[in-house]
Amino acid sequence: MMGLPSLNSLDQAQTVRIWLATEKTDMRCGFDRLAERVQAVIGVDPLSGHLFVFRSCRGDRLKILVWDRDGYVLWYKRLEEGVFKLPRVPEGARSMELRASELAMVLDGIDMTKLKRVPRYPGRGEPQKGNSRTEEKVMRKEIS
């Protein structure tokens, strides 16, 4: 039985992408209707091998569609209690790309709206900014 690919392998794979349809989806949709939604809403070829995530109207169900060499695989999860908490969606976006780690957090019940991604590197051409008070204290200690 084919399961969802290991999220660790997805993190390291450069070619597999994860797309979330931000609009609510009727969970009665099967393989073909979801593939049509991939093309219409996300604008990607459903045979690409990427993962396509769809959320139910109530938010307690997710479907993930992926093409696996010779046919579609549909992964379906229903929560017994609560809803899936998705990341913040840019206004007006019909779809957005997720990292494998973000999908893992959604599936594990972590509220993505309460998370904040902190800057990890300065933008292009901008000097790196630090905490001047901390730098000043360190410099004083080094001089003394």
Which tens digit of pLDDT belongs to each residue from 2-26? 556 666 555 555 689 999 999 999 9
Concatenated DSSP letters for 46-115?
Answer: TTSS-EEEEEESSSSEEEEEEE-SSSEEEEEEE-SSS---PPPPPTT-SEEEE-HHHHHHHHTT--GGG-
Which tens digit of pLDDT belongs to each residue from 29-69? 999 999 999 999 999 999 999 999 999 999 999 999 999 98
pTM: 0.72
pLDDT at 115 over 90: no
The rounded distance, in Å, linking the Cα atoms of 2 and 126 is 47
Q: Residues, the chain, total?
A: 144
